[in-house]
Amino acid sequence: MAANDAELIAPSADRVARRALSLAALVCRSAIEDNAGNQEAEAFRASVVSWAGDVGLTDELEPGEIGILEAPLGSLTQRQVIDASWRTEGLAVLAWALGRCELPPYDAQANAPRIAEALGFCERRAGTVLHAHSFASTLSWLGSQYSGPPRTRGEPR
């Protein structure tokens, strides 16, 4: 087998959940960028960084993403804010894959605050999608949705 023919391994549900919560943190950070000088907003930004470390998300963040989360409010470039806000789309897909929300229509924006809430954003680990009980229900849901061989659209189960 050639190096580029390596077998792809799907990420675990835990990794998908950690990435989804990481994206929620980035989207939140982009949304509060215009609040430079607001002490409450800066305290919230710092609490999100602390929370991300507490629930084990830092390994899932890329170096540039960590820099965005840790940057003081008002210091991001317009490109960084735009790029971070676009992560809402990936957040929606991962939350859907975890059974936490429906995908929005193709012509509508995903509702990042609602999706983040469904994942347990900024809650203690037991309140997030990372909690073992949440995984049991997620895996059950995934099994009910994707059991058996692939089907064509409209083909009965």
Residues 130 and 21: beta-carbon distance below 8 Å? yes
Least confident interval from 4-8, 77-81, 139-143: 139-143
Q: What is the mean pLDDT of residues 100-108?
A: 93
The pTM of this model reads: 0.79
Segment of 60-74, 112-126, 130-144 carrying the highest mean pLDDT: 60-74
Say what the pLDDT of residue 3 is: 58
Mean pLDDT within 21-41:
95
96 CA to centre of own chain: 10
Closest alpha carbon to 25 in 2, 1, 58: 58
End-to-end CA distance of the chain: 35
Say whether pLDDT at 33 is over 50.
Answer: yes
Between residues 126 and 102, the one the model is more confident about = 102
Report yes or no: 68 and 29 within 8 Å, Cβ to Cβ.
yes
Confidence band of 7 (pLDDT split at 50, 70, 90): confident
Distance of CA 157 to the CA centre of its chain: 30
Residue 34, CA distances (Å) to 29, 47, 78 in order: 10, 17, 11
Q: What is the mean pLDDT of the chain?
A: 85
pLDDT at 77 over 50: yes
Burial 118-127 (b: 16+ CB within 10 A, else e): bbbbbbeeee
